[in-house]
């Protein structure tokens, strides 16, 4: 029996419009026998409107007639024409333009160097490449290994920044959970240690304490230099 759409609504319609047994309805709708009895007694699915399985293409009139004539007969559901419309569309494989396919090994090299926590499956899905190519880049057996250089896939236009961040974050979370189970401290490889800046000793830097500086300290003897009389006449 195929899974049918709206099993309770279908059961309501069959109870109200046919002479089928509760067992036949329960089997066709994939429900428990007591649920069907509850529908007939008005205790279950009171506010549910019946759905005609013949009208929506899940049952043929011939099947229904056979079942009404023979209580031991079990109806076979048809593939509904509506079921295909409700199925989630499968995501197509990532397409990479021909002009950019040669850049994928560089992007793979970038992942291997900067984000080893990202799995081959994630890299393959992000870049639209194969696991064998990833393995060749990682082992240095790629045919163009000597010319490969790690380049950010976002810069190459192979993925968006949002997709890259999501993949890295997901991989880091998986590694962190695995480390927690084993009781091992986990350090995110994407986080680089901050550079420590050594403080400058005030005694070594006479200009470190800016609040103590005066104009004379900055400009030196410029204020004390006498003005030449000729220079003063030339100024006017």
pTM: 0.43
Q: Are 92 and 43 in contact (CB under 8 A)?
A: no
Q: What is the pLDDT of residue 78?
A: 81
The pLDDT tens digits for 16-69 are 999 999 999 999 999 999 999 998 888 887 788 888 998 888 889 999 999 999
Q: What is the pLDDT of residue 96?
A: 59
Q: 183: pLDDT confidence band, cut at 50, 70 and 90?
A: confident
**pLDDT of 92 higher than 90:** no
**pLDDT of 197 higher than 50:** no
Q: Are 4 and 80 in contact (CB under 8 A)?
A: yes
DSSP line for the chain: ----SSHHHHHHHHHHH----HHHHHHHHT--HHHHHHHHTTSS-TTPPP--TTTTTSS-HHHHHHHHH-TT--------TTHHHHSPPPPPPPP--HHHHTTHHHHHHHHHHH-TTS-HHHHHHHHT--HHHHHHHHHT-STTGGG-----HHHHTSS-HHHHHHHHHHHHHHHHHHHHHHT-----TTSPPPPPPPPPPTTT-TTS-GGG--HHHHHGGGTTSPPPHHHHHHH-
Q: Are 64 and 54 in contact (CB under 8 A)?
A: yes
Of 68-72, 107-111, 202-206, the poorest mean pLDDT is in 202-206
Q: Are 108 and 127 in contact (CB under 8 A)?
A: yes
Q: What is the pLDDT of residue 135?
A: 93
Of 18-32, 150-164, 181-195, 199-213, the poorest mean pLDDT is in 199-213
Q: Please give the average per-residue pLDDT across 185-210, as a whole number.
A: 52
Mean confidence (pLDDT) of the chain: 78
User: Using only C-alpha atoms, what is the Rg of the chain?
Assistant: 38
**pLDDT of 186 higher than 80:** no
**pLDDT of 228 higher than 80:** no
Q: Are 43 and 8 in contact (CB under 8 A)?
A: no
- As a whole-number percent, the residues of the chain with pLDDT over 90 amount to 31
- Sequence length of the chain is 236
Q: What is the pLDDT of residue 28?
A: 92
Q: Please give the average per-residue pLDDT across 132-147, as a whole number.
A: 91
């Amino acid at each position: 029996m195929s899974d049918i759409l709206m099993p309770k609504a279908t059961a309501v319609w069959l109870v109200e419009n046919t002479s089928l047994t509760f067992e036949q309805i329960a089997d066709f709708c994939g429900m428990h026998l007591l649920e069907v009895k509850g529908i007939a007694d008005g205790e279950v699915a009171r506010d549910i409107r019946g759905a005609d399985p013949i009208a929506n293409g899940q049952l043929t009139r011939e099947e229904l007639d056979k079942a009404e004539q023979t209580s031991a007969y079990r109806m076979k559901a048809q593939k509904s024409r509506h079921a295909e419309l409700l199925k989630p569309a499968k995501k197509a494989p990532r397409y990479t333009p021909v002009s950019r396919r040669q850049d994928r090994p560089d992007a793979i090299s970038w992942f291997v160097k900067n984000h080893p926590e990202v799995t081959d499956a994630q890299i393959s899905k992000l870049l639209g490449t194969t696991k064998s190519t990833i393995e060749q880049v990682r082992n240095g057996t790629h045919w163009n290994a000597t010319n490969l250089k790690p380049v950010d896939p976002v810069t190459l236009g192979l993925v968006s920044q949002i997709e890259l961040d999501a993949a890295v974050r997901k991989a880091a979370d998986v590694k962190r959970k695995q480390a927690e189970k084993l009781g091992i401290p986990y350090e995110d490889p994407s986080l680089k240690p901050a550079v420590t800046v050594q403080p400058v000793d005030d005694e070594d830097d006479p200009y470190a304490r800016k609040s103590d500086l005066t104009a004379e300290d900055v400009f030196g003897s410029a204020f004390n230099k006498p003005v030449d009389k000729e220079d003063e006449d030339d100024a006017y």
